[in-house]
Amino acid sequence: MSDPFGPNPWRQTSWDWRAAGNFVCGGAGAGVLVFTALAGVQGPALSGLMLAGIALVGLGLFSVWLEIGRPLRALNVFLSPRMSWMSREAVTATLLFPAGVAAAAGAPGFTWVTAALAFAFVYCQSRMLQAARGIPAWREPLLSPLVVITGLAEGGGLFFVMAPLDGAGTLSLLALFGVLVLARVLVWLAYRRRLASVAAHGALTALDRTGRVLQIAGTLVPLALVAAIAAGAVTGELIPAVAALAGLSAVAAGAYVKFTLVTRAGFNQGFALRHLPVRGARP
């Protein structure tokens, strides 16, 4: 096997499906917590949704913990909160878990505290990728809003998947979910356009394949279902089921987007040598 390193771009291998699992589960879990607060859920439904949200965040962190070569050194992640977005994510998560448990227990005010921490958590995630300056698909400024909006859209989708169990889904929240789905694809299209001249061919190929899934399964399908509910074409007992289907479609596409961004689009820019040495020539 030839050495992958050289002047041409090569795909990073430090972050794999386990790192992607942190972005997929953590972002979706944070989105669930935000939507739960916006819905004003109370009682057992609040407890269930809060615990589900923080469980997803915990599953994401556990996933990335599996990737660490020496797991017992994981506590070192807390040492650089002033410089590292990964450290800030860890600190935010440390505050998020007890706040979520308190909200699930019915402590007054903690639902909104949890939602604010959840939003901060997904924002930290969005900046973690952007800090990798040598990878064009990650350092693009539009990646940060893309990851945040995707996490919120996934959370909204999961909320409506669980909404038939708690009866908390509302038309206004469904409209917000539709806006997030539409905003996600618009940011994606702008993001892909800005990468056209700077990203490696392998990265663009992976992104284009994912973009088709996002546009159809992640945008057209959920928006068509939301529009059918808003127009009155779906009524009665079918509304929760159709909303859940729209949410599930948006969640699956969002997870695929994040998986691709982390594992398949992470090509660095290769070596950029402005001046090559020439034998016999003076510098």
Q: Which residues of the chain have pLDDT under 50?
A: 1-3
pLDDT at 278: 67
150 lies in which domain range? 17-263
Residue 258 covered by a domain: yes
Residue 36 covered by a domain: yes
pLDDT at 84: 84
Measured distance CA(112)–CA(157) in Å, rounded: 20
* Cβ atoms 218, 259 nearer than 8 A: no
Measured distance CA(207)–CA(261) in Å, rounded: 8
Residue 281 covered by a domain: no
Q: Tell which residue, 134, 195, 125, has the closest CA to residue 12.
A: 134
Measured distance CA(249)–CA(270) in Å, rounded: 36
pLDDT at 66: 78
pLDDT at 202: 93
pLDDT at 77: 67
Query: Is the pTM higher than 0.85?
Result: yes
CATH number at residue 133: 1.20.1630.10
* Cβ atoms 190, 142 nearer than 8 A: yes
What tokens appear for 258 in the block? 């994040």
Residue 73 covered by a domain: yes
* Cβ atoms 237, 141 nearer than 8 A: no
Strands, E assignment, 142-259: none
Q: Specify the DSSP element, H or E, that contains 181.
A: helix 171-195
Q: What is the DSSP string of 61-107?
A: HHHHHHH-SSGGGGGGGGG-TTT-HHHHHHHHHHHHHHHHHHHHTT-
pLDDT at 1: 41
pLDDT at 125: 94
Residue 110 covered by a domain: yes
C-alpha distances out from residue 76 to 67, 84, 91, 129, Å:
15, 11, 12, 19
* Cβ atoms 154, 28 nearer than 8 A: yes
Residue 124 covered by a domain: yes
Condensed to tens digits (0 to 9), the pLDDT of residues 20-66 reads: 999 999 999 999 999 999 999 999 999 999 999 999 999 999 988 87
pLDDT at 275: 61
Residue 273 covered by a domain: no
pLDDT at 86: 87
* Cβ atoms 203, 237 nearer than 8 A: no
pLDDT at 15: 86
Q: Which residues contact 7 (CB under 8 A, 6 or more apart)?
A: 270, 271, 273
Measured distance CA(269)–CA(146) in Å, rounded: 21
Residue 280 covered by a domain: no
Work out how many domains the chain is built from and give that number: 1
Q: Side-chain half-sphere of 96: how many Cα atoms within 13 Å? A: 31
Measured distance CA(247)–CA(61) in Å, rounded: 23
Q: Specify the DSSP element, H or E, that contains 32.
A: helix 17-39
